[in-house]
Structure 1
Amino acid sequence: MPKALTVSRRPDPAIIGAVLLLAAAGVVAVYSAVSFLAETKAGGDTERFLLKHVLHVGLGLLAMGAASLVDYRKLARFSKAFMIVAIGLLVAVQVMGVVTNGAQRWIDLGFVTFQPSDLAKVAILLHTAVLLTKKQPYIESFARGYLPLLFWIGPTLLLIGMEDLSTAAILLITLAAMMFVGRVRVGHLLGTALVALVLASAFLAANPQRAARVDAWLNTSIFTSEAEAEATFSDQAEGYQARQARIAFAMGGVTGRGPGKSVQRDFLPAPYNDFIFAIVAEEYGLVGALSLLLVFVYVLARGLLRIARGAADPLGLFLAVGITCAVVLYGFVNAAVACGLAPVTGLAMPFVSFGGTSLLMTGIMVGILLNISRHADPA
């Protein structure tokens, strides 16, 4: 076998450093952002939520470390089984899912509540990489190469999109990047994008809350009438959230108000999750916000130009592209929502936002990326 496939080196230290930096920034930002939540739900016990977040971050980092030790090619052998479990959970959430904030995305097992879509995104990235590797000899064929990919990607994204259209959209973009690198015909990808656009429009038209989010962002009434939009939301509407986030940016200025001095955390819905970037911008200013985004840019460059390009085999290449794009896209979209450049989505910023299963699954994805780097060509 080629040397690159048999020699295992240390995982990429730059990615580890970037993740630790994001996690540290997240702990500080979340500690400031949860004060209002602690006041209303825990009698002002901010440390309780901080410790919970630190525990989640610790579990995510442990998962990352564990995944980095497992050969990604061995994980690939079980990709179909992972997909079957993930699709089963996505179906289950439609039947017995818990509704929170108008969305039925969670399954409550009593001792833990989790989002099946978090597991599904790991499974679909892994299985798509496996299929792209297997289908390379005839990948340009629609019937033999592309259709088997759609067989798994289509139902998975449809099930996710029923309650979480933003996650489905990010996964579609990520999978398209993987398939483009995997030599899938551009015409096939454009056709799929057109179908996805039609389905997304149908999902928006069928869901007043989603429709109002997009209309509020565009300042139009494409999917809802003005009366419907007003009936759908109270003063906690998407327009309200976007305005409060912009105020946070304005108050932060260039250098920020200082650590723990956020005012908008008392007005922004979910400042510790969906709008964590706005809290960073308010307390650390433009300098802090851009510094945080530069970490994601660095992860993008390192993941694509170093790990993906140096991957030992096509499977590692496709996986590295998918994982890197997914993690960075989540970070960019979270920031874009806070800046008013995208409609409110409810997506967490990787390793920064308060969360449980999202931190765990993101840790696993980055761990797989680190394992790929261990087998990468050192040149």
Structure 2
Amino acid sequence: MATAATAQLPRRPADRAVIWAVLALSAMGVIAVYSAISFLAETKSGGDTERFLFRHLLRVGLALGVVGVMSLVNYRWLARLSKVALIGSLGLLVAVQALGAVTNGAQRWLELGPISFQPSDLAKVALVLHVAVLLARKQDYIGDVTRGFVPLLVWIAPTVLLIGMEDLSTAAVLSMTMGAMLFVGRVKVLHMAAVGLAGLILAVGFLASSPQRAARMEAWTGIELFASNNEAVEISGADENYQADQARIAIAMGGLTGVGPGKSVQRDFLPAPYNDFILAIIAEEYGLVGALLVLFVFVWILGRGFLRVARGAPDPLGLFLATGLTTAVVLGGFVNAMVTCGLLPVTGLAMPFVSYGGTSMLATGAMVGILLNVSRHATS
């Protein structure tokens, strides 16, 4: 339990390095999205790129507003609501399976009138919060399977499973985030390895049961891994190769310094240049230098989140939160970059603060805001 001294309102300013990093990513994202959005604007609004730019600016503004608000809310107070938030998120994930809207072959969205959102983004934040609470509470007997590990698994397993049914990439990133938190929380490696093996077997089952997912994996490896005569698999596989090939062409055309701002050619060929493949547009227009600059900002957030915020956290809860939140944000950026470079199969995962997005950007804003709040309580 926090002492009266540690429970006081924050006395330190939030970590300015993280703030500047988020602002830099947002600024680079606005410029890249404005360039990449031309094809979408041409096909859906008669070439009105300003309409989509304004929509993106609004979402960026809302996300930065969420960062500011959450950075002022004491993370210990948020921790008290973590269980309720996670139960609500699980309910929404179940609702997606029954009532969710299907987009691009995936049933990930809930629609409430004119508003649509992905519950998986909300569940990701809630799970990190609640697992941090449980880890802090169970440190005295964390090595005990029944009292320490199983109660954690009771919340992690259904959340990851429900997300993975329609969004395997988000489930994988969330699983790795949980792994980092459990490792820092002194959970036995043997326990984590056993669950990891079970999760890997389950992931293979998810791949085999979905023609679209199987096609993505086969297109990436170039090997027929899952026996199927389904024509949809072959068509999808060709589409996935097309996306990956166009992304690599964009990177190759950019060279070291790029073709120049607004001069991308591949934005007219990539299916989602403003979202999943935004880094390809940055690499084409600003070259390897521009792409590495984006990745450096994520590395900077990683360093500050681990070495400054987590190490300086005043209590175990702050340590586990900083570890999980930093891992989730940075992994999202790295996985998106690896997909663009062809190091991972096409996933549909947005790059935090850079890609054109809605729910994911707000959820990322909440995670960064909580991280900043932990930094305001830091002791060093």
Q: CA deviation at 1:110?
A: 1.2
Q: CA deviation at 1:225?
A: 4.4
| 1:181 corresponds to which of 155, 179, 184 | 184
| 1:103 corresponds to which of 100, 103, 106 | 106
Q: Distance in 2 between matches of 1:181 and 1:272?
A: 35
Q: 1:228 to 1:193 in 2, by over 3 A?
A: farther
Counterpart of 1:148 in 2: which secondary structure? helix
Shifted more, 184-193 versus 216-225: the winner is 216-225
The alignment status of 1:218 with 2:221, answered yes or no, reads yes
Structure 1 outlier segments of 4+, above 6 Å:
none
Counterpart of 1:349 in 2: which secondary structure? coil
Question: What is the match of residue 257 of structure 1?
Answer: 259
Q: CA deviation at 1:216?
A: 0.6
The CA deviation string for residues 76-109 of structure 1, in whole angstroms up to 9 with x for no partner, is: 0011100110000000000000000000000011
Where in structure 2 are the equivalents of 1:57-68 lying within 5 Å?
A: 57-68=60-71
Q: Distance in 1 between matches of 2:167 and 2:354?
A: 20
Query: Is the 1:5–1:312 contact (alpha carbons within 8 Å) kept by the matching residues of 2?
Result: no
Question: What is the match of residue 120 of structure 1?
Answer: 123
Give the structure-2-normalised TM-score: 0.97
Q: Distance in 2 between matches of 1:4 and 1:239?
A: 53
Question: What is the match of residue 344 of structure 2?
Answer: 342
Question: What is the match of residue 367 of structure 2?
Answer: 365
In structure 2, give the amino acid aligned to 1:346: G
Q: Distance in 1 between matches of 2:267 and 2:31?
A: 14
Query: Is the 2:216–2:236 contact (alpha carbons within 8 Å) kept by the matching residues of 1?
Result: no
Counterpart of 2:102 in 1: which secondary structure? strand
Q: Distance in 1 between matches of 2:192 and 2:233?
A: 37
In structure 2, give the amino acid aligned to 1:99: V
In structure 1, give the amino acid aligned to 2:60: V
Alignment root-mean-square deviation, CA: 1.2
The alignment status of 1:88 with 2:91, answered yes or no, reads yes
In structure 1, give the amino acid aligned to 2:297: V
Query: Is the 1:4–1:376 contact (alpha carbons within 8 Å) kept by the matching residues of 2?
Result: no
The CA deviation string for residues 106-142 of structure 1, in whole angstroms up to 9 with x for no partner, is: 0011121000000000000000000001111110011
Q: CA deviation at 1:3?
A: 4.9
Shifted more, 117-126 versus 7-16: the winner is 7-16
Q: Distance in 2 between matches of 1:64 and 1:317?
A: 19
Question: What is the match of residue 374 of structure 1?
Answer: 376
Q: 1:187 to 1:12 in 2, by over 3 A?
A: same
Q: Distance in 2 between matches of 1:366 and 1:3?
A: 24
The alignment status of 1:192 with 2:195, answered yes or no, reads yes
Q: Share of identical aligned residues, percent?
A: 66
Question: What is the match of residue 297 of structure 1?
Answer: 299
Aligned residues: 377
The CA deviation string for residues 319-361 of structure 1, in whole angstroms up to 9 with x for no partner, is: 0000000000000000000000000000000000000111111
Where in structure 2 are the equivalents of 1:1-379 lying within 5 Å?
A: 1=3, 3=5, 5-6=7-8, 8-225=11-228, 228=231, 231-233=234-236, 235=238, 237-378=239-380
Q: Distance in 1 between matches of 2:342 and 2:104?
A: 21
Counterpart of 1:347 in 2: which secondary structure? coil
Give the structure-1-normalised TM-score: 0.97
Query: Is the 2:211–2:230 contact (alpha carbons within 8 Å) kept by the matching residues of 1?
Result: no
Structure 2: give runs of 5+ residues left out of the alignment. Answer: none
